[in-house]
Amino acid sequence: MKSTLERSQIPLCEKCKNLNNSSFCILNRTEQERLSQYKTYNVYKKGQVVFYEGNQPQGLYCIYSGKVKIHKLGDDGKDQIVRLAKTGNVIGYRALLSADNYYATATTLENTVICFFPKAVYLNLLMSNSEFSMKTIKMLSGNLRIAEQMITNMAQKQVKERMAGALIYLIDFFGLEEDHATINTVLTRQDIGNIAGTTTETSIRVLSDLNKNRIIKLSGKKIRIQNYNELLRVANISA
């Protein structure tokens, strides 16, 4: 796998195409060069674990390309996705910031390339650049909003509403493909169920109901949105 992607193909941080979408855009040139200097990268296959819940963080991961799910495994093997991450996002920063172990596991959803920065480099930047720490605070409070929304839905909504909500979350987060209808990600029925907090069986059943009612169109693992307004209505989200 590694041979297909040579080191030369991963640009320096200051030249990275994702720079403007990441929190590193606020850094000055010298700081970005410093990041490049310490950066390593890794190529992950689909389904590979980036870090495990409970392990000690050694550094920060920044997704160069691909998609990752952040999930917590329950005692009885039930899995719950708490967040998704895409190109340009950083993952594993919260454990670093609070000097804690990883609170969840990160697993790739497709073939993914991830850059890695040692802990000290990241924390030094945070200490020395107040704009960067403000940006980090903003990112955290955005994550808090999403988490608060998610827990409220999980505790109050019916499974069908949550499944439709999960699809809307996927549309918002990953966007649509060029046809302006197909969700730009391939997830298993199980993963979608794990976002909505339900079993694989229920996930399959609700998706096929939505398919039958022509709200979505399932073709393989791809999901095409046929009637977005109706999906919003099922999710009980006011447009």
Partner 1 sequence: MKITNCRQCGLKQFSAFQDCSDDLLNEIFSNKELKQYDKNEIIIQQNDPFRGVFCIQEGTVKVSTIGNKNKEFVLWFAKPGDIIGIDSFINNKSHLFAATAIVSVSACFIPDGDFKELLNRDPSISRKIIKILCDEISSIEGRIASVSQKSIREQFAEMLISIATKNKKSLEANMPISYSIKDLASTIGTTNNYLYKIISDFNDKNVVTILNKKLVIKDFDKLSLIAIGEESVT
For the segment 111-140, give every residue that binds partner 1 (CB under 8 A): 126-127, 130, 133-134, 136-138, 140
Contact status: 148 vs partner 1 (CB under 8 A):
yes
Q: Toward partner 1, which CB reaches closer, 46 or 145?
A: 145
Among 1, 12, 120, 151, binds partner 1 (CB under 8 A): 151
Q: Which two tokens stand for residue 224?
A: 């095409």
Contact with partner 1 (CB under 8 A) among 17, 145, 214, 221? 145
CB of 137 to partner 1, least distance (A): 6
**DSSP letter string, 41-98:** EEEE-TT-EEE-TTSPP-EEEEEEESEEEEEEE-TTS-EEEEEEEETT-EESHHHHHT
Does 72 engage in binding with partner 1 (CB under 8 A)? yes
H/E element, 108 = strand 105-108
CA–CA distance from 77 to each of 73, 74, 101 (Å)? 6, 5, 20
154 binds partner 1 (CB under 8 A): yes
Least spacing, CB of residue 102 vs partner 1, in Å:
11
Q: Is the dihedral of CA 144, 105, 205, 156 positive or negative?
A: negative
Among 174, 198, 225, 234, binds partner 1 (CB under 8 A): 198
Question: Can you tell me the distance from the alpha carbon of 184 to that of 191, in angstroms, rounded to the nearest whole number?
Answer: 15
Interaction between residue 150 and partner 1 (CB under 8 A):
yes
Six token digits for residue 36: 């490049």
User: Which listed range, 5-13, 33-41, 98-106, 169-177, lies at the site for partner 1 (CB under 8 A)?
Assistant: 98-106
Return the number of other C-beta atoms located less than 10 Å from residue 32's C-beta: 20
- Which tokens in the block code for residue 141? 């409070």
List the interface residues with partner 1, window 206-235 (CB under 8 A).
none
**Contact residues for partner 1, defined by CB under 8 A:** 72, 74-76, 78, 80, 82-83, 94, 97-98, 100, 103-104, 126-127, 130, 133-134, 136-138, 140-145, 147-148, 150-157, 161, 194, 197-198, 236
